[in-house]
């Protein structure tokens, strides 16, 4: 698989939700990319109980890949 574009995204989990189908907000710094992804065990593990974190992610065509194994330090945005 070849990733066409790699970029950093902020992942925000819903703070007050008991919905098992909760969606997480994901966006890049200038918000030219923004989407929602379902909360799953990979995201829960990567977030370590935090409300937000930053990860390297990528696009192949229109397919988005969230790099929960590629956390980056908070860039300040």
Extents of the domains making up the chain:
5-72
DSSP-assigned letter for residue 32: S
Q: Is the pLDDT of residue 19 over 80?
A: no
CA-based max dimension of the chain: 37
pLDDT score of 5 more than 70: yes
Convert the pLDDT of each residue in 30-70 to its tens digit: 999 999 999 999 999 999 999 999 999 999 999 999 999 99
Note the pLDDT of residue 1.
66
pTM for this prediction: 0.89
| Confidence band, pLDDT 50/70/90 cuts, at residue 22 | confident
Buried b (16+ CB within 10 A) or exposed e, 8-20: bbbbebeeeeeee
């Amino acid at each position: 698989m070849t990733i066409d574009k790699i970029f950093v995204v902020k992942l925000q989990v819903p703070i007050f939700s008991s919905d098992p189908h909760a969606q997480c907000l994901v966006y890049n710094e200038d918000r030219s990319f923004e989407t929602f992804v379902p909360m799953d065990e990979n995201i829960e593990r990567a977030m370590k109980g935090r409300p937000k974190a930053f990860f390297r992610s990528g696009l192949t065509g229109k397919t988005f890949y969230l790099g929960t194994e590629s956390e980056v330090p908070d860039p300040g945005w």
